[in-house]
């Protein structure tokens, strides 16, 4: 093998040919993602059957295009071309990651890829109905099929020695993540959180929850959260905000980002929290390099990093006293004088009250990760056969009692609450917690790097934080893995300490526990 010199015409040609072919395959994914968004937000019921077939066709075509033998040849040529380049330059990263994706993709038959896409589309539709009717039975056969297909997929992909099927699947959401590693993070974290929750439970001082039970017109809520998304930096020229059964951020590519939320007539925080969360995802996407769209350097690093962005805007920003100093006076423009009797302290307390509940996306920061741990355990158990799908509601409810001390009232607020499994995604959930840890760690560093960062929130100035994230995270694409990125930006490996510091600094005073 000869080592090509960078920037010769032959090098240039090998790379542009490969990248164009990969972008062509990715363009089909961008179309599929738009159809996926449409299915959740706009599509009438009648569209469901053919939508599944459309998505299945696109998945098959994209898979066939990306796994064509020609692509293998192009990758080999491109690897020679980048051999003399710095390993973290854009071209080299693109080739490295394309090789990684390709080696995984060729292990999967196109028929399985197509069947998973079809099943996911149909199962999602079944999930919406089952959730609406709070009837797990209507979703059970779909979940059984999804677990079966995921097991097939894991078998095709294989996993490292000592690992399990879950690892093969999680690798799609967080490269090289394993159940063993997740457990190493989760077990001590659960103990620390439990200790904090026990202290809070025993506290004599209680923050006011009144604003979380205060009805405001949904139309006005929508205008309000749209304004907030815009003010923190979501670019509506390159994105939308709509409604869906479960909030998500999808869309077609970095200049066409589609996020959703949902509205509770009696709690504007539901919509505000989820909008700031999804806007965090959306701003990450919008910060990717459009010129690299469809290539690894124009893609998000992984879902943990993605969640670090959403969780930071939701929590470190949206639940802070600094934010509410600015946000409170904004309320009158949308709700008139309806909120005037809530003081700044009332709002801040309501944003941070700790209350173990059933719904992950509406949960407070102290209990949030417990929801994630339950799902992680259940994913493993379903894959390993330790929990039969038909028994899921019962096991789910038992774990909620054990982890959070709450009695789940029905399946809608139990194991049917999250959309992920219906979309065929198993191995996703732990990234929520890893991202939550990273959010706190990144935010500590941003605070050090940018003097007056949080004081700026008092005045509605969020651009300094967004710029810092653009520079340190968004523009890096898939250059670094989660832990690499964390070390490079913060100088330390990923740790739960910053999040625990963040929680304790906020919650202990709130509950008079200092």
| Active-site residue list | 278
Q: Which is nearer to its own copies, 47 or 163 (CB)?
A: 47
Task: Based on the shown chain and the rule CB under 8 A, indicate whether residue 28 belongs to the binding site for its own copies.
Answer: yes
Over the range 176-215, which residues count as b (16 or more CB within 10 Å of their CB) and which as e? ebbbebbeebbeebeebbeebbeebeeeeeebeeebbebe
Cα–Cα distance measured from residue 470 to residue 254, given in angstroms and rounded to the nearest whole number: 13
Per-residue contact flags (x/-) with its own copies for residues 292 to 331, judged by CB under 8 A: -x--------------------------------------
Q: What are phi and psi of 360, to 5 degrees?
A: -60, -50
Task: Based on the shown chain and the rule CB under 8 A, indicate whether residue 27 belongs to the binding site for its own copies.
Answer: yes
Q: What is the 3-state secondary structure (H, E, C) of 236-257?
A: HHHEEEEECCCCCEEEEECCEE
Task: Based on the shown chain and the rule CB under 8 A, indicate whether residue 203 belongs to the binding site for its own copies.
Answer: no
Task: Based on the shown chain and the rule CB under 8 A, indicate whether residue 53 belongs to the binding site for its own copies.
Answer: yes
Task: Based on the shown chain and the rule CB under 8 A, indicate whether residue 42 belongs to the binding site for its own copies.
Answer: yes
- Binding its own copies by CB under 8 A: which of 94, 119, 124, 252? 252
Task: Based on the shown chain and the rule CB under 8 A, indicate whether residue 110 belongs to the binding site for its own copies.
Answer: no
Q: Which is nearer to its own copies, 114 or 373 (CB)?
A: 114
Task: Based on the shown chain and the rule CB under 8 A, indicate whether residue 422 belongs to the binding site for its own copies.
Answer: no
| Beta carbons of 154 and 165 less than 8 angstroms apart | yes
User: CB neighbours of 385 closer than 8 A, spacing ≥ 6?
Assistant: none
Tell the smallest beta-carbon distance from residue 35 to its own copies (Å).
7
- Binding its own copies by CB under 8 A: which of 4, 15, 18, 61? 61
Cα–Cα distance measured from residue 151 to residue 382, given in angstroms and rounded to the nearest whole number: 10
Tell the smallest beta-carbon distance from residue 42 to its own copies (Å).
7
- Segment lying near its own copies (by CB under 8 A), choices 48-56, 80-88, 90-98, 402-410: 48-56
Cα–Cα distance measured from residue 423 to residue 35, given in angstroms and rounded to the nearest whole number: 13
- Binding its own copies by CB under 8 A: which of 138, 231, 255, 328? 255
Task: Based on the shown chain and the rule CB under 8 A, indicate whether residue 21 belongs to the binding site for its own copies.
Answer: no
Q: Which is nearer to its own copies, 79 or 252 (CB)?
A: 252
Tell the smallest beta-carbon distance from residue 106 to its own copies (Å).
21
Task: Based on the shown chain and the rule CB under 8 A, indicate whether residue 30 belongs to the binding site for its own copies.
Answer: yes
- Binding its own copies by CB under 8 A: which of 5, 16, 24, 191? 24
Reading the block at residue 358, the tokens are: 């059933």
| Beta carbons of 449 and 468 less than 8 angstroms apart | yes
Q: Which residues are registered as beta bridge partners of 259?
A: 241, 249
Cα–Cα distance measured from residue 35 to residue 42, given in angstroms and rounded to the nearest whole number: 10
What are the C-alpha distances in Å from 441 to residues 311, 377, 432? 12, 25, 14
Q: Which is nearer to its own copies, 226 or 375 (CB)?
A: 226
Beta strands in 458-499 (DSSP E): none
Can you give the binding site for its own copies, defined by CB under 8 A?
24, 27-28, 30-31, 34-35, 38, 42-47, 49-51, 53-54, 57-58, 61, 235-240, 252-253, 255-256, 293
């Amino acid at each position: 093998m000869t080592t090509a010199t960078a920037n010769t015409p032959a090098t240039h040609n090998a790379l542009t040919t490969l990248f164009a072919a990969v972008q062509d395959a990715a363009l089909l994914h961008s179309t599929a993602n738009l159809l996926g968004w449409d299915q959740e937000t706009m599509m009438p019921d009648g569209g469901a059957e053919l939508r599944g077939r459309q998505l299945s066709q696109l998945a098959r075509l994209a898979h066939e295009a990306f796994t064509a033998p020609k692509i293998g040849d192009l990758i080999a040529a491109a690897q020679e071309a980048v051999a003399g380049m710095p390993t973290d330059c854009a071209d080299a990263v693109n080739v490295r990651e394309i090789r990684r994706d390709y080696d995984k993709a060729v292990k999967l038959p196109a028929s399985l890829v197509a069947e998973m896409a079809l099943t996911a589309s149909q199962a999602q539709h079944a999930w919406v109905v089952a959730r609406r009717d709070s009837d797990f039975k209507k979703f059970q056969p779909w979940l059984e099929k999804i677990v079966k297909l995921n097991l097939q997929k894991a078998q095709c992909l294989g996993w490292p020695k000592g690992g399990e099927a879950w690892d093969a699947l999680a690798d799609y959401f967080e490269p090289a993540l394993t159940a063993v590693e997740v457990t190493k993070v989760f077990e001590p974290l659960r103990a620390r959180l439990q200790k904090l929750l026990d202290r809070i439970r025993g506290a004599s001082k209680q923050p006011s929850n009144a604003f979380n039970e205060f009805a405001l017109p949904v139309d006005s809520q929508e205008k309000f959260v749209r304004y907030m998304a815009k003010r923190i930096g979501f670019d509506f020229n390159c994105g939308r905000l709509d409604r869906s059964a479960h909030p998500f951020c999808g869309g077609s590519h970095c200049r066409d980002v589609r996020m959703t939320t949902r509205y509770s007539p009696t709690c504007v925080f539901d919509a505000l929290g989820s909008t700031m969360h999804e806007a965090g995802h959306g701003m990450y996407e919008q910060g990717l390099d459009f010129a690299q769209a469809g290539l690894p350097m124009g893609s998000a690093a992984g879902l943990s990093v993605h969640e670090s962005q959403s969780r930071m805007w939701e929590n470190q920003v949206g639940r802070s006293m600094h934010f509410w100093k600015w946000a409170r006076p904004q309320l009158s423009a949308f709700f008139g004088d309806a909120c005037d009797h809530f003081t700044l302290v009332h709002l801040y307390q309501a944003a941070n009250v700790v209350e173990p509940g059933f719904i992950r996306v509406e949960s407070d920061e102290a209990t949030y990760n417990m929801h994630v741990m339950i799902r992680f355990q259940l994913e493993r158990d379903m894959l390993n056969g330790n929990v039969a799908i038909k028994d899921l509601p019962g096991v789910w409810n038992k774990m909620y009692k054990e982890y959070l001390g709450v009695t789940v009232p029905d399946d809608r607020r139990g194991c049917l609450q999250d959309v992920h499994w219906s979309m065929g995604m198993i191995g996703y959930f732990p990234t929520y917690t890893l991202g939550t840890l990273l959010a706190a760690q990144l935010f500590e560093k941003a605070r050090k790097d940018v003097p007056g960062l949080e004081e700026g929130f008092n005045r509605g100035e969020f651009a300094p934080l967004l710029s810092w994230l653009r520079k340190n995270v968004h523009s890096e694409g898939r250059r670094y893995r989660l832990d690499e990125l964390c070390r490079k930006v913060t100088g330390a490996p990923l740790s739960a300490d910053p999040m625990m510091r963040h929680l304790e600094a906020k919650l202990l005073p709130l509950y008079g526990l200092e």
